[in-house]
Every structure is written in C-alpha cells, then in structure tokens.
Structure 1
C-alpha cells in the first residue's frame, strides 16, 4: 500500500479506536446469533484498517469462530471452515457469492434483496482480491 491510503492517514489512536469498534461490532453480531464471547486469539486475528477485521474468537462453550467485521456485512463461521484468517476471508468471499446468487434467483426477491445481493457480490470480490494478494500475507 502507498502512503496515500486511508490507513496511513489515520493516527495510531484512530486505528486503535477503529479496531475496538470492529471488535464490539463482531461481538454484538455473535451475541445476536446466540454465541457468547469468552476470548480472542489475537495472534491469529488480522486487521486491514479501515476496511476489514478478522477475529478468531472462543465462546463460553470453548467453540472457536472466525468473525469478520469492517466496511462490509458482519459475518462468522466455525473455525473448522478455515485454518487461517486468510482462509476465512476466502471462505466468506465464496459464501457471499453463493448467497448473492441465491438472492437473485429467488422468485420473492424484492428491491432491497437485490440491493443486498449487489453489496454481497461487491464485497465478496474485494475479499477475494485481499486474500489473493500474497504481499499482504507475508510473515503471517
């Protein structure tokens, strides 16, 4: 990334605040889906501020999840679906492409469903590009 990216325009405090907000967003999404947070596996979690955060989270039943938040829909999967944050991003990209296709194919798809399908597709394409950039994952 060049020095002109939004990430480099943010102060350390702003980056920390963004990460904190994304953690809260991820934790809220889990709670809304019946998953109660216990801890974060920080050495496996990854952040691409201000776009994307991928958290590896352990719940109160010792189950593990990959949770994604940021400038995209918040979502989560069991950690058995991917062995790394990069793999989780790839999984979300493929899953969202399928969800978008299913929404578009639905006979009951209304304007908001089609708009959501478009959002999923655009974010899925971005996610796939991110996970496909080896330079972002060197040393990880």
Structure 2
C-alpha cells in the first residue's frame, strides 16, 4: 500500500474516534466538577494543558505534567481533589489503545513512531474538547 493511502487511512481512523473524544471530555468535565475547578484557576490550567500537549510529541511529557499539577500545592485541589487529573491519566491510557488500533488499520504493522503520533494527536484533540466543555459549562473566569 502506498504511503499516501496509509496516511489517508490513518487520518480517517483518527477521525473515527472524534465523537468518542467529545463524549469522554463531556463526561470528565461534568457540571459538578467544573463548579469545583472554576474557583481554582481552571481556565488557565486547561490552557496550560493544551499548550503542553501542543509543544511536545510525547504523551509521557503531558502525563508527567498532569502528575506535577496533581502534586503542586497551588493546583492540587483542582487536579487531584476533583479527580480531574486521575481522569485525564485514565483517558490517556484508553487513547493508547486507540492509537495502536489506528496504526494497525493504517499500516498493518507496528510502527512505534506512528502510534506515538496518533496517541499525542488524541491527547491534543481531547485537551481542546475538554476546554470547550469547561467554558460551555460556565467555568471560564
């Protein structure tokens, strides 16, 4: 199969998960959780999450940043106390499975660099949808 066809299948497979990403972000940012996060600089924290995800090609960098936020005194209540950080990490694990599936369908073989690219693509999309749900539910400062 040609690389162009593989790339087209890869993109189509990524898009196949879009609705699930939106639903999962909706579930993670429930109205109750948004209310708890809103008073704790939530919008700026979600902007930072999106920024970290966009600046790296490594999901592990984003994951370690989430754990850092869960441990920091200033952000602990929003990230750990509400379960938001743990929910994100759980979502990242789910996305790893999706990334493997995307690459298997696109390339019919294991290509670690493409799995990593699919995984960080999911993380970036999810961070954007999470921010939108947060704002939609009145969490914007």
Q: Which has the higher helix share?
A: 2
TM normalised by structure 2 equals 0.36
The structure with higher relative contact order (CA 8 Å, sep 6+) is: 2
